[in-house]
Amino acid sequence: DGGITQSPKYLFRKEGQNVTLSCEQNLNHDAMYWYRQDPGQGLRLIYYSQIVNDFQKGDIAEGYSVSREKKESFPLTVTSAQKNPTAFYLCASSIRPTSYEQYFGPGTRLTVT
């Protein structure tokens, strides 16, 4: 089956700890994206990557870091510098950076206490 997988579905961490969210795609897509969703708000772009070994900050990149060492994988690290990390995180991919058609993963709900 082709698609995007995110793991785990639920993640719990103590405040002050870094945590890494996984995103894998087997669609052979060049571009990948991370979004954050808070209750009553739309999705906000954290980081995006147009190609392997390249990534750019989105609208709310502070307190987050990413890597893109492989085409299939775009992990997101939520660092202790992120003031309000509790949220629902969605990963997406598109066949190329200029494509508007993004495919979304099932999401990871992160709770930090």
Partner 1 sequence: KQEVTQIPAALSVPEGENLVLNCSFTDSAIYNLQWFRQDPGKGLTSLLLIQSSQREQTSGRLNASLDKSSGRSTLYIAASQPGDSATYLCAVYSNAGGTSYGKLTFGQGTILTVHP
Residues that bind partner 1 (CB under 8 A): 4, 40-45, 50, 88, 90, 97-98, 100-102, 104-107, 109
Which pair of tokens denotes residue 34?
Answer: 């991370």
Which pair of tokens denotes residue 90?
Answer: 């969605």
* Complex with partner 1: residue 41 or 113, whichever CB lies closer: 41
Minimum distance, C-beta of residue 33 to partner 1, in the bound complex (Å): 8
Minimum distance, C-beta of residue 19 to partner 1, in the bound complex (Å): 19
Residues, the chain:
113
Minimum distance, C-beta of residue 111 to partner 1, in the bound complex (Å): 13
Minimum distance, C-beta of residue 83 to partner 1, in the bound complex (Å): 21
CA distance 75 to 23: 6
Which of these, 109, 63, 110, 60, lies nearest to 82 by C-alpha position? 63
* Complex with partner 1: residue 17 or 53, whichever CB lies closer: 53
User: CB-based contacts of 39: which residues, under 8 Å, 6+ apart?
Assistant: none
CA distance 36 to 43: 6
* Complex with partner 1: residue 33 or 64, whichever CB lies closer: 33
* Complex with partner 1: residue 18 or 106, whichever CB lies closer: 106
